[in-house]
Amino acid sequence: MAEDLLRIEHLSVDYHVGAGTFRALTDVSLSMPAGRVVGIVGETGCGKSTLGHAIPRLLPQPPAQVRSGKVFFQGTDLLKLPKWRMPSVRGTGIGMIFQEPINSLNPAFRVGDQIAEAVQIRRLREHGRQPARKADVQGFDYSKREMPKAADVVTGPFVPPNLTETLKQRPPPISKDLQKEVLDFLHLVRINDPERIISLFPHELSGGMRQRIMIAMALSGKPSLLIADEPTSALDVTIQAQVLTLMKELMDEVSTSILFISHDLGVIAEMADDVGVMYAGHMVEFGPVAEIFESPRHPYTKSLIRSIPNKYKEDGVLPSLSGSVPNLSRLPNGCTFHPRCPMVRDVCRKDPEPPLTDLPPGPAGLVHRSACYFPEEVASLP
């Protein structure tokens, strides 16, 4: 079996705030083969963003604390890497797009310079002038639709830069050539007139433009994995559609693996190959997008899908899920969803909580997991 690009095993993250401990993530496991787009969906506060930030170790510690778990990226447990080696994984290994483009660009620098910085880091690594992971040094051609082979993706040992060697090497070509590459990436995200845009500051651009710049910046590191943390949630609906269309097109052109985080099931259905459904810090269901939507195997997923607005529905009332996400500092015993579950039974109220288990393979033979004791009965729910 080929090595997964990203494999998260039993990751638990707590937030220590004031007197309380909030279980932001509990025992989350996820595996993501190269070239797939995996969606993570759930309500606000269910831990999706914490998951996205925990992978490249962006969580501020304190208040966050990784209680247990492993995050394997290209075969290396990132949580075990010394802190000073994390930069070599970021940018060229893992890129990220944040939720609010208003805040995610540095207000003090011109956008062209901000993208150039990312391009420059990647070039230095391609020329071996900066420590980088082996797979990243080889790079891959973004004009081709091929991913680096999983076998190439094994981490090499860290070699400290040899000073005399480094001095002998010519610096990678910069300036004009660098600017040309920056313009290329702006073209890639369909920005007209990029020559003018590069000399502007972030506050001189609209939200949609800023998010395109952000996408260009993340892609300019040519990452093997792109984490998109609610990339369209802060945008107007029309701009949202534009950016989603752009991302959809880019997925075909660039073919990088994407972890797409969103609270919007419709967006996830459009973008993702696989979906992980999260509830109160737990991964409650994981499977191929079509199966999840057609035959959900967890009552939470079912009720989420039921509450998508549908204009073809005749009866006026939009079904909603009663109750709210439990307080993460006082999670209920047993299944975390049981207080809101329509088919709750005695076993659900008792510890231990139901684990995420493989279901019998469906017609396509793809992995489908559910954290419900009675996955077969979900289909009979209204």
Partner 1 sequence: MGRSRSDLVVFVAKRLVQLIPVLIGVIVITFFFTHIAVANPCVAWAGPKASPSAITACEHLYGLDKPLPVQFVNYLKGLVSGDWGYDPLYQVPVLTAIEQYFPATLELVLASIFLMVVVGIPLGVVAAASNGRIADHLVRIFYLSGWATPTYIAGAVLAIGVGSTLGISGGAFSTLSSPVRTLTHMSVVDALLAGNLSATGDALAHLILPATALAFINMGIATRMTRSSMLETLPLDFVKTARMKGLGEFVVLYKHALRNALITTTTVLGITAGTMVSGTVVVESIFRWPGMGLYAFSAITDYDFNGTIGVVIFFAIVVVVANLVADVLYGVLDPRVEWR
Q: Which residue has the tokens 């299944």?
A: 335
| 214 binding partner 1? (CB under 8 A) | yes
Q: How far is the CB of 199 from partner 1 (least distance, A)?
A: 11
| 82 binding partner 1? (CB under 8 A) | no
Of the candidates 44, 61, 106, 245, which one interacts with partner 1 according to CB under 8 A?
Answer: 106
| 203 binding partner 1? (CB under 8 A) | yes
Distance of CA 325 to the CA centre of its chain: 22
d(C-alpha 328, C-alpha 343), whole Å: 22
- The 282-288 sheet, strands edge to edge: 94-97, 225-229, 257-262, 37-41, 274-279, 282-288, 369-370, 357-358
Give the count of alpha carbons within 13 A of 239, CB side only: 14
Q: Segment contacting partner 1 (CB under 8 A): 11-19, 94-102, 143-151, 265-273?
A: 94-102
DSSP conformation class of 172: P
Residue of 197, 221, 210 whose CA lies nearest to 142: 221
DSSP conformation class of 63: T
CB atoms within 10 A of CB 345: 12
Burial class (CB in 10 A: 0-12, 13-18, 19+), 22: buried
Q: How far is the CB of 227 from partner 1 (least distance, A)?
A: 9
41 SS3 class: strand
Q: Segment contacting partner 1 (CB under 8 A): 65-73, 106-114, 146-154, 238-246?
A: 106-114
> In this complex, which beta carbon is closest to partner 1, that of residue 109 or of residue 158?
109
> In this complex, which beta carbon is closest to partner 1, that of residue 97 or of residue 341?
97
| 201 binding partner 1? (CB under 8 A) | yes
Q: Segment contacting partner 1 (CB under 8 A): 20-28, 120-128, 141-149, 284-292?
A: 120-128
Could you tell me whether strands 257-262 and 225-229 are parallel, antiparallel, or unpaired per DSSP bridges? parallel
Residue of 141, 148, 157, 134 whose CA lies nearest to 33: 148
Q: How far is the CB of 318 from partner 1 (least distance, A)?
A: 33
> In this complex, which beta carbon is closest to partner 1, that of residue 48 or of residue 53?
53
Q: Segment contacting partner 1 (CB under 8 A): 29-37, 52-60, 153-161, 350-358?
A: 52-60
> CB-based contacts of 7: which residues, under 8 Å, 6+ apart?
30, 31, 32, 70, 71, 72
> In this complex, which beta carbon is closest to partner 1, that of residue 34 or of residue 59?
59
| 50 binding partner 1? (CB under 8 A) | no
> In this complex, which beta carbon is closest to partner 1, that of residue 189 or of residue 371?
189
| 109 binding partner 1? (CB under 8 A) | yes
> In this complex, which beta carbon is closest to partner 1, that of residue 22 or of residue 286?
22
**Per-residue tokens: 159:** 């070699």
Which residues lie near partner 1 (CB under 8 A)? 53, 56, 58, 60, 62, 84, 87-96, 98-100, 103-109, 117-118, 121-122, 125, 201, 203, 214, 217-218, 221
